[in-house]
Structure 1
């Protein structure tokens, strides 16, 4: 496989095709893809004084415009996909693996007390449904589906589905089959 940029890998998840820079820019009419493009630029240039400041200002504008609270410091693997336009909050210290899908209304946040103080670490190929909440110093394994409206404040093993509030874990190897397409 050729050496594609992280932006190309993110956009591949949406279309299933490798796109040129021009094709990527034309797809930025989609608010989700537009935001991912700007986020990745801010992440790429965060160490550069001039470009870093420029992309942070642009990112801040689109955080407010689109309602996405995701920061350049957040570690997000390649193939990131935001399913729908709408409110989204991800703590800057959270870690998200590659080929992850996140729907609208999701919160991935910090827990300040209790057994799991800290920030979530989410593995590869995780699908997070609408209005799900994932909080605390927890680990979500690889190939996990977190159902819409689920509340997760506990570790989730790989190859699982989490349903409900409070969340309940169901083990299955096919948890994300048909949910995560065009993997990179």
Structure 2
């Protein structure tokens, strides 16, 4: 398994296209979404600084309206495009190169689809979209704004919520997933 430090630099790469220490300092100080990711990844290391990182993660969770517990399994290349009102269930499994925007929820549900989602690589959740239940979202999927997804989505698709419509496209996230890992 890769070290969590490299996860931080891979996440930084998704923001700016490089992995320099100067950029790390700049984005940690001035970019709220990346600042949250920085403390999230450091909490996941569980070293002797864990109490400090956990305190700062909770502080920024309240300040920015982001609820992503450090137990959540998120692979490399995580990017919060616009921060605010983001909720991800700790049981969700998320692949690499994942974009999430403001107002999005990745959560659990009860009933037939009881459980939490598994989200593939190169997935982009647009503003106010919701993904809930024991479902699988494939690779290279774009979830359009204001979509409610509680069904499986195949690879290379765009989900439009007008009537739970799925459109098959080659590389639908090409414009949205910049600086792929």
Classify the TM-score, shorter chain: over 0.9
Alignment of 1:55 onto 2:53: yes
Q: Distance in 2 between matches of 1:130 and 1:163?
A: 13
Q: Distance in 2 between matches of 1:166 and 1:65?
A: 35
Alignment of 1:74 onto 2:72: yes
Q: SS of the counterpart of 2:49?
A: helix
Kindly state the Cα deviation for residue 19 of structure 1 after the two structures are TM-superposed: 1.5
Give the number of aligned pairs: 177
Show the counterpart of 1:7.
8
Q: Distance in 2 between matches of 1:70 and 1:104?
A: 13
Show the counterpart of 1:24.
24
Show the counterpart of 1:105.
103
Q: Distance in 1 between matches of 2:90 and 2:33?
A: 19
* Runs of 4+ with >4 A deviation: none
Q: Distance in 2 between matches of 1:79 and 1:101?
A: 9
| CA distance 1:63–1:166, shift in 2 (3 Å) | farther
Taking the TM superposition and a 5 Å limit, the aligned residue runs for 1:153-164 are: 153-164=150-161
The normalised TM-score by structure 1 is 0.91
Structure 1, residues 143-178: CA drift from partner, whole Å, max 9, x if none?
A: 000000010000101111100155211111221111
Q: Distance in 2 between matches of 1:142 and 1:174?
A: 9
Out of 138, 149, 153, the residue aligned to residue 152 of structure 1 is 149
Out of 98, 120, 132, the residue aligned to residue 135 of structure 1 is 132
The RMSD of aligned alpha carbons is 1.5
Contact 1:111/1:117 (8 A) holds in 2: yes
Structure 1, residues 92-114: CA drift from partner, whole Å, max 9, x if none?
A: 1001100010010000000012x
Taking the TM superposition and a 5 Å limit, the aligned residue runs for 1:170-181 are: 170-181=167-178
Structure 1, residues 3-52: CA drift from partner, whole Å, max 9, x if none?
A: 971100001011011212x430221111011111011101112xx4x422
Q: SS of the counterpart of 1:154?
A: coil
